[in-house]
Structure 1
Amino acid sequence: MNQIDYGFPTVLGRNLIAELPAFVHAPFLVVTMDDLAPIYERALSGSEMIVYTVRSIDEADLRRDLEELPRVEAIVGLGGGQALDVAKYLAWRRRLPLFQVPTALSVNAVYGHRAGLRVDGKVRYMGWTIPESVFIDLDVIRSAPPQLNYSGIGDVLCFHTGVLDWKYAAAQGKCESKWPYDPALAAQSLSKVEAVLDATGDIRDLTDNGIEVLLDGLKWGTSYHGAGWNPRHIEGIEHFVFYALEHYTGRKFLHGQPVCLGLFVGAVLHDVRPDEMLQAVRAVGVDIRPAAMRITWDDVETALTHLQDFVHEAGLWHSIAHDQPITATEVAEIRDRVEAAYG
């Protein structure tokens, strides 16, 4: 496969939010979160804007809200993954130009064409939106709670287990015919993993290099579309663990924590570099212990011991989780290794 051109038009700089009124058609809708009011109120004061604060990512709720939203000429997504996904969805439904301003690099949502929403309690990706530009304001990124930025490594290191699951499914003769294993595409994903492993200190310190390495890996999210809507090289069991935890606990999580826990679980099952992945996650500063996610190891055991049933019922693409059940004894071993790594 040829090299994929990836990433939407992206601008890195400072004081970028305050420039938006100079070129975004007014009135524009700012899709954001309540806790970000100080940012948009300060930077966009006096602008002809309407603020929509995200309270749900359930598509049924968003459809109802669409009926009540006033007429606007453009949409600005300002915030983390949920705000950016909802901005994509509203822009798609209204057929409006979209400008995206992540306030933290916590997920790759800004570099996906589709919005990750919930339909009947299940994750569904829908819509099609290409932003006019993505604005990365370095001062805003660094002002976010560090954990939000650290979380972003989950959506890059996940390529490790995504590729492992792809190779596994191909070896088992269970790979989807529309997504045959592509070594060149897999190698491109794995190069992003190595870049993060080589820059854990810079990512933890949020240096310019650390931000750029993380950003480069997150941009690879657009390769899902560039490879023909193929998720194989960017997502696998690590995200399935996240979905299962969400399903069985009914809780919402900071994306990178359950994904990085799933990364370790998947690397253990495949027996490929599990300790290296765990140490990298620990070195950056992502805490994957259940207590840090406000759940318990019993919750994790429920999700992992039922993971095989969950992935079949959810109709997820074939992975090692489809064939290899996880026992309570194995969960205890995973628990001991994680707790030991964090001391």
Structure 2
Amino acid sequence: MPLLARSVLTPLHIDVRRGAVADLGTILADGRISSGGDVAVVVGPGQGETVAGLVRPSLRSADVFTVAGGSLDAADELGSKLRNRSYDAVVAIGGGKTIDVAKYAATRRGLPMVSVATSLANDGIASPVASLITEGIKGSYGVHIPIAVIVDLDFVEAGPERHNRAGIGDVVSNISALADWELARQVRGEPVDGLAASLARAGAEAVLNHPGDMSDDAFVTVLAEALISSGLAMAVCGTSRPSSGGCHEIMHAVDALYPGTASHGELAGLGALFCTFLRGDERRFVEMSACLARHGLPRLPADVELTDEQFVEAVLFAPRTRPDRYTILEHLALSADDVRNRLGDYVDALRDHLG
């Protein structure tokens, strides 16, 4: 009987704990990523000096580069600097923008990349995707999945709480994204990867039903692992499908029409809740709404300082952000009046269920 299997690219090392940044040299050596510390350490402008001071004792041979902006130009500039020396790996320490710049630059140079997350704003910490800005527009670029993913809970705790809470919205949005994927299978015959779906769903369910909050290490660890699982789900199927549906179309539309409105995770959670309402899944709607409310995340356009009319415009624009993707938004093909009416019903439903 033939044995059928597939190979899946995953990180060699995953570590979620306190003190990880200070132990980076040991982690890289034990993981056989770099025994001598000949790595390019990439940090952001915010905590860069603090990070550099912590890693230098264990990575004396490392070069430290500071990047800012989360743009394609910043990634290309970093890539040019990486050509000046032979490195074992690129080690990005920081938030999503820093990690995405490093992922793209490392991929272009053919170098393994280590993701050291100091915040939990979205699932980019472990995904094979880099979100970078070029000419004022954020685009998604395929990159190699990180060879290692490390989350330092000390840095997460010290960061802005709102920034970290946003990751909850990004993880919970997987529930809506997976429903959109199943809809595309039913309507268009699009194949669904069961392993990818399982990884994305498991993390989302764990966060959705956990009673803790960002002050609880157990909850923060579950959130970090859920974000990593979400990234792995994308790597398994080679697409962002398990973590991105109508929820992210709305997020990208708001980013395009009203840049700077709110963070990726905040908008993804809001978009997911609205799409779940459009889908008519009352049980999921109540669960997701309760979770977002419990963690102080946006549920209404006004929560992210959008008027109802601006949100309507974003929903109408949303399908244009992912023309090849079939979600509840494409399925319903709502007119402007339809969206206005559904938004009114959505607000009423929130009031009826949770106040």
Q: Aligning the two structures, in what range does the TM-score lie when normalised by the shorter sequence?
A: 0.7 to 0.9
Which whole-Å CA distance do the structure 2 matches of 1:126 and 1:182 have between them?
Answer: 19
Question: 1:300 and 1:108 mapped to 2: Cα distance?
Answer: 24
Structure 1 position 264, deviation (Å): 0.7
One of 65, 88, 99 as aligned partner of 1:84: 99
1:63 maps to 76
* Cα separation, partners in 2 of 1:212 and 1:334, compared to 1, 3 Å: same
Letter aligned with residue 297 of structure 2: V
The aligned counterpart of 2:292 is 281
**Structure 1 unaligned spans of 5+:** none
**Which letter maps to 2:43?**
T
> Is 1:224–2:234 an aligned residue pair?
yes
Work out whether 1:125 is the aligned partner of 2:129. no
Q: In the alignment, does 2:151 pair up with 1:136?
A: yes
In structure 2, which of residues 339, 343, 347 is the aligned counterpart of residue 327 of structure 1? 339
Q: Contact (CA 8 Å) 2:45, 2:66: kept in 1 or not?
A: no
Mapped partners of 2:113, 2:264: distance in 1: 23
User: CA 1:274 to 1:187, structure 2 compared with 1: closer, same or farther past 3 Å?
Assistant: same
Aligned residue in 1 for 2:63: 49
CA deviations on 1:18-39 (whole Å, 9 max, x unpaired) are 2335655566433232221353
1:194 corresponding residue in structure 2: 205
Q: Output the CA distance in 2 between the equivalents of 1:3 and 1:157.
A: 28
Q: Please say if residues 10 and 235 of structure 2, whose CA atoms lie closer than 8 Å, have aligned partners that are also in contact.
A: no
- One-letter identity of the residue aligned with 1:43: L
Is the 2:67–2:78 Cα contact (8 Å) retained in structure 1?
no
Shift of 1:125: 2.1
Following superposition, the deviation at residue 69 of structure 1 comes to 6.0
Change (3 A) 1:183 1:223: closer
Q: Distance in 1 between matches of 2:318 and 2:55?
A: 46
Separation (CA, whole Å) in 2 of partners of 1:55 and 1:92:
19
C-alpha distance in 1 between matches for 2:9 and 2:299: 30
Please state how far the C-alpha of 1:129 moved relative to its aligned partner: 4.1
How far apart, CA to CA, are the structure 1 residues paired with 2:177 and 2:194? 13
SS in 1 for 2:207: helix
Pick closer, same or farther for the CA change 1:269–1:27 going to 2, 3 Å: same
1:136 is displaced (CA, Å) by: 1.9
Distance 2:299 2:6 in 1: 33
Q: TM-score, normalised by structure 1?
A: 0.83
Number of the residue aligned with 2:219 = 210
Tell me the residue number matched to 1:250: 259
Residue 177 of structure 2 aligns with an amino acid whose one-letter code is G
Distance (whole Å) between structure 1 residues aligned to residue 115 and residue 193 of structure 2: 31
Structure 2 counterpart SS, 1:233: helix
**Counterpart pick for 1:113 among 124, 128, 141:** 128
Q: Residue 265 of structure 1 is aligned with which of 262, 268, 274?
A: 274
Match of 1:13 among 7, 10, 17: 17
> Do 2:177 and 2:241's aligned partners in 1 also have CA atoms closer than 8 Å?
yes
Indicate how the Cα distance of structure 1 residues 331 and 188 shifts in structure 2: closer, same or farther if over 3 A, else same: same
Q: Distance in 1 between matches of 2:257 and 2:119?
A: 28
- Paired AA for residue 141 in structure 2: Y
Identity of aligned residues (%): 23
Deviation, 1:113, is 2.4
Judge conservation of contact 2:196–2:234 (CA < 8 Å) in 1: no
When residues 124 and 252 of structure 1 are mapped into structure 2, their CA distance, relative to the original with a 3 A threshold, is farther
Structure 1 SS opposite 2:100? helix
Count of aligned pairs between the two proteins: 331
Contact persistence 2:107–2:143 (CA under 8 A): yes
Secondary structure at the aligned position of 2:241 is classed as coil
State the one-letter code of the partner of 2:69: R
Q: Confirm or deny: 8 A CA contact 2:40 2:65 kept in the other structure.
A: yes
Which of 1, 20, 35 does residue 46 from structure 2 map onto?
35
Q: How does 1:174-189 map to 2 (within 5 A)?
A: 174-176=188-190, 180-182=191-193, 186-189=197-200
RMSD between aligned residues? 3.1
Higher relative contact order (CA 8 A, sep 6+): 1
